[in-house]
Amino acid sequence: MTISIVIIFTNPLLAQKNYVQDIRAYQQTYIQEHEVVKGKDKKGLRFFTPNIQYKVLANFTQLYDTVGFIMKTSGTKDKKFYRYGTLDFTIKNTSLTLTVYISDASKQDTALDKYLFLPFTDLTSGTESYGGGRYIDLLISTIKENKVTIDFNKAYNPYCVYAYGYNCPIPPRENHLSIAILAGEKMYVGKKKQRED
- In the predicted structure, residue 2 carries a pLDDT above the cut 80: no
- In the predicted structure, residue 129 carries a pLDDT above the cut 60: yes
Q: Rounded mean pLDDT of 39-58?
A: 97
- In the predicted structure, residue 23 carries a pLDDT above the cut 80: yes
Cα distance between residue 69 and residue 102, in whole Å: 11
pLDDT, tens digit (0-9, with 9 covering 90-100), for 141-195? 999 999 999 999 999 999 999 999 999 999 999 999 999 999 999 999 999 999 9
pTM of the model: 0.91
pLDDT, tens digit (0-9, with 9 covering 90-100), for 3-12? 444 444 457 7
